[in-house]
Structure 1
Amino acid sequence: MHQSTNLTKFTLKMKFTIVLLLLATPGLVKATDQDLHQQLEHMDALLFENAFNQCDLDVLERITHTDFEFYHDQGGEQDRAEFFAAIRKNICGNPDAKPIRKLAPGTLTVFPMYDDGELYAALQSGEHDFYIRAADQSMVKTGTARFTSLWALHNTQWLLKRVLSYDHQPSTIVYPSQAVERDMDAGFRPALFDTERRISALLKQHHIPSIGMGVIEGGRLQQLRMFAAEQAPPLDAIYKVASLTKPIAALVTLKLVNEGRWDLDSPLSRYFVDPDVAKSAELRSLTTRHVLSHQSGFPNWRYLSPNNTLRFEFKPGTRYQYSGEGFEYLRKAIEAKLGQPFEDVAQQTLFEPLAMLDTHFYWHDQVDARRFQPGHDADGKKLPVARHTRANAAANLLTTVEDYAKFMIYLSAGAELDPSLFAEMVRPHVDVSQASTFALGWQRFDIASTDSQPSEYVLQHTGGDPGVKTIAVLMPQSQRGLVLLSNSENATKLWGKIISEHYGTLGISLTNANFQ
């Protein structure tokens, strides 16, 4: 009996395979009967709009053959019971992250199947797009696929008997083109990490000489990789990381607070006063907390302001405005109080204890210039190297992927801070956008839970100078993280793709949140 059943299934599969082969045969005539096409278009709508999108499983029961089989190029084979269970769990199980299917316009085709001139079935093929719809009804495109369905005509009723779902491709996540500085669309559909050749091709496409990547899982550096358009740099390649300097400076400051050598809420004017703001009424209210949460009231850089002078643009602590000047003001105050260069303070409190041997705030004899990766412009042209000779708490840090990952791992474990101080560091201090806030030294995103991912807060910081683009993403609750260092103006184009491929729905949500 078992052998006979297997033989029957084999025969049915062979018939279905033969039909698929016939689709590629020259001269095969598509259905020209408009009524038939409309009937099958209606059945497709019942299957996907009613059953899949709206989770009306009564409709699915009515239109599915008792001998139904489903074949997925990634999920394998399912019978009717398995298919229904998967729909209930994966498609209809979480209304806050609901998969949605949309038929690609103009792709649906229908082929009639006759037995001695009598219509008994129809083959339907097309392409569709998939999305995740959040609780607020916003949608993020997650991928595309092709499908072929066999509909059997049973007593004038169309019943779905076989489905092939194949050629699944992840979405490239397209965002507004005007967001030039935050362009995360690689324009590259296949999975990035399948082969080294594929990665090299993508880097060449975007004129990106190299990207260093560190992946943190379970509080450990799981992957340390270097990718290049041509020859990959060494694993200990040194990069300038632009504003990824700020989280380092923030933790150095908080370590001083933890040791009782500094105070978050004392006026910085006790230790340092910049001549440009010496007569400003706002001066005495400026604190370290304001600087680390970007509420200092300062512009990003004074050289971008009229007359190249520093001034308060609003009262500290009243709203968010990203400012490198604030971090530099803080550095000068710390140096004035402690009587030490900021580089030395960082070495003592952070770099030496963590064995961050290749991390420095400026160029000096300990920096191995042979390993340094110079920046490149959007056309791939090498840019001149500016060798800064004094610390800047907001930019210009030199480091390696491994060193920065050590810092992130240490931070995710609490950084040996008092628990109340660590909680103060990671809590939201000021709204940045609808989707994010700023903590102390990091931008924070709170990602809602899905059926496969609990809710989690994410700390993120980016860095950008001419020819340099960097990003660090850290999830302290699960002790996961990702750091990407690149010496290219174009590296941001890969961020969304890499983050979404590594972290799935969470990565897509995070990438999408960057544009809200």
Structure 2
Amino acid sequence: MKKIILTISFCTSISMLSAQVGSNTNAPSKHILTIENDKALEQWLKENKIPNLGLGIIKNGKLEKAKVYGELRKGIPAPNNTIFNVASLTKPVTAMVALKLASEGKWDLDEPLYHYWTDPDIADDPRSQKLTTRIILSHQTGFPNWRFSTPDGKLAFQFDPGTQYQYSGEGFEYLRNALEKKFGKPLSQIGEELIFEPLKMKDTSYIWDQNTDASRIANGYDKNGKKYEIVKRRTANGADDLMTTVSDYSHFLISVMNGSILSEKIFEEMKTGQIATQKGKYFGLGFEIYPLGDGNIALSHGGSDEGVQALFVIVPKTKQGLLILTNTDEGAKVYEKLLIDYLGEDGRKVVDIEMK
């Protein structure tokens, strides 16, 4: 049975759930993320029917806390190295693969990708020659999110590339194909060599293989507590289904905010808005950009699949960040409280932008 890939934006999640969270009398008092209040947080999660919550707290550019709450199985507390499927939080990782290659002079962000790959569905459309990595990373391809959601199930342009914003997982899969064709190896291997090994992300992978520890996988649940089937992807998807832990992905985010694996030029391009999306925010190269005032920005991305709601917000200037991983369709209801509680005024500004 084909997995349904959802695309509920951070905006939609916040808009739908903020009233519910804001009026929740069971919500813990402020500063719930402190170690002393872990017990209160566990109770809050039970009341909100969140089976597992993974929190990565970044302070002063360092990982202050990486913890997983709830039970992995009945009677078995979730270990802090629980492995989560993070849905579209895969996209920033794929983006960093391309940006790392560009930093090394091995990949040109503005080179037409038809030099390496053209999808058969659009081979006869001359607009295919306009596609570049920059256009893909900023979601300006003109593609739908997924081709299987269209009437004929084929990939086609819905507008000219580079002229509008439209979120697309297909774009990142297009980039994967181009990278694999040029470098002659699968994205799973490229990502391992360029990102996972250097950052010591030993529990992170695009694919399910013999090294996957099934005993640490967080099952996904629907709103009624029914389990979804675990996704066991054997080949990488550039947009979806990365498996990782709170600690691993938090260290990835620290490298992103510090620009530690990128050249200075590429790092600045990554943080620069390529196209306005809505409500005064932008998409850069792989990351959504929230202006916070006085030249300060937050970088963010969300993920939403069956049994997955995930989000991160990092602030490069202050070296603060928050990673939120959940394994339920209901997970987005905790976003607003956690963002404001930990990131304070910056978290409030991000929420306010989404609520405009």
TM, length-normalised to structure 2: 0.90
Q: Deviations over 1:221-265 (max 9, x none)?
A: 011122227753101100000000000000001111111211111
Q: Deviations over 1:112-158 (max 9, x none)?
A: xxxxxxxxxxxxxxxxxxxxxxxxxxxxxxxxxxxxxxxxxxxxxxx
Q: Deviations over 1:49-92 (max 9, x none)?
A: xxxxxxxxxxxxxxxxxxxxxxxxxxxxxxxxxxxxxxxxxxxx
8 Å CA contact 1:183, 1:492 repeated in 2: no
For the pair 1:437 / 2:279, whether they are aligned, the reply is no
Q: State the match for 2:237 in structure 1.
A: 392
SS of equivalent to 2:355: coil
Query: Counterpart of 1:191 in structure 2: which amino acid?
Result: S
Q: State the match for 1:292 in structure 2.
A: 137
How far did 1:182 drift?
Answer: 5.2
Q: State the match for 1:329 in structure 2.
A: 174
For the pair 1:207 / 2:49, whether they are aligned, the reply is yes
Q: State the match for 1:365 in structure 2.
A: 210
8 Å CA contact 1:210, 1:232 repeated in 2: no
8 Å CA contact 2:14, 2:354 repeated in 1: no
For the pair 1:422 / 2:267, whether they are aligned, the reply is yes
8 Å CA contact 1:361, 1:396 repeated in 2: yes
Q: Compared with structure 1, are the counterparts of its residues 189 and 398 closer, same or farther at alpha carbon in structure 2 (3 Å cutoff)?
A: closer
Residue of 182, 197, 200 corresponding to 1:352: 197
Query: Counterpart of 1:330 in structure 2: which amino acid?
Result: L
8 Å CA contact 2:14, 2:333 repeated in 1: no
8 Å CA contact 2:68, 2:79 repeated in 1: yes
1-structure distance, mates of 2:227, 2:15: 22
Say which structure is richer in strand.
Answer: 1
SS of equivalent to 2:126: coil
Q: Compared with structure 1, are the counterparts of its residues 456 and 470 closer, same or farther at alpha carbon in structure 2 (3 Å cutoff)?
A: same
Q: State the match for 2:154 in structure 1.
A: 309
2-structure distance, mates of 1:205, 1:398: 27
Unaligned runs of 5+ in 2: 1-10
Query: Counterpart of 1:281 in structure 2: which amino acid?
Result: P
TM, length-normalised to structure 1: 0.63
Larger radius of gyration between Structure 1 and Structure 2: 1
For the pair 1:468 / 2:312, whether they are aligned, the reply is no
How far did 1:179 drift?
Answer: 4.0
How far did 1:279 drift?
Answer: 0.7
Q: State the match for 2:326 in structure 1.
A: 486
SS of equivalent to 1:307: coil
Query: Counterpart of 1:261 in structure 2: which amino acid?
Result: K
8 Å CA contact 1:461, 1:471 repeated in 2: yes
Q: Compared with structure 1, are the counterparts of its residues 471 and 179 closer, same or farther at alpha carbon in structure 2 (3 Å cutoff)?
A: closer
1-structure distance, mates of 2:54, 2:130: 41
Q: Deviations over 1:336-386 (max 9, x none)?
A: 111111111111111101110000001001111100001010112221112
Farther-moved stretch of structure 1 (320-329 vs 260-269): 260-269
SS of equivalent to 1:447: strand
Query: Counterpart of 2:83 in structure 1: which amino acid?
Result: I
Instruction: Percent identity, please.
Output: 38
How far did 1:309 drift?
Answer: 0.3
Q: Compared with structure 1, are the counterparts of its residues 352 and 456 closer, same or farther at alpha carbon in structure 2 (3 Å cutoff)?
A: same
Unaligned runs of 5+ in 1: 1-177, 450-454
How far did 1:189 drift?
Answer: 4.2
8 Å CA contact 2:279, 2:354 repeated in 1: no
Give the alignment's Cα RMSD to 1 decimal: 1.7
Higher relative contact order (CA 8 A, sep 6+): 2
2-structure distance, mates of 1:180, 1:258: 35
Q: State the match for 2:77 in structure 1.
A: 232
How far did 1:195 drift?
Answer: 3.1
SS of equivalent to 1:208: coil
Which portions of structure 1, spanning 4 or more consecutive aligned residues, are displaced by more than 6 angstroms?
A: none
SS of equivalent to 2:77: coil
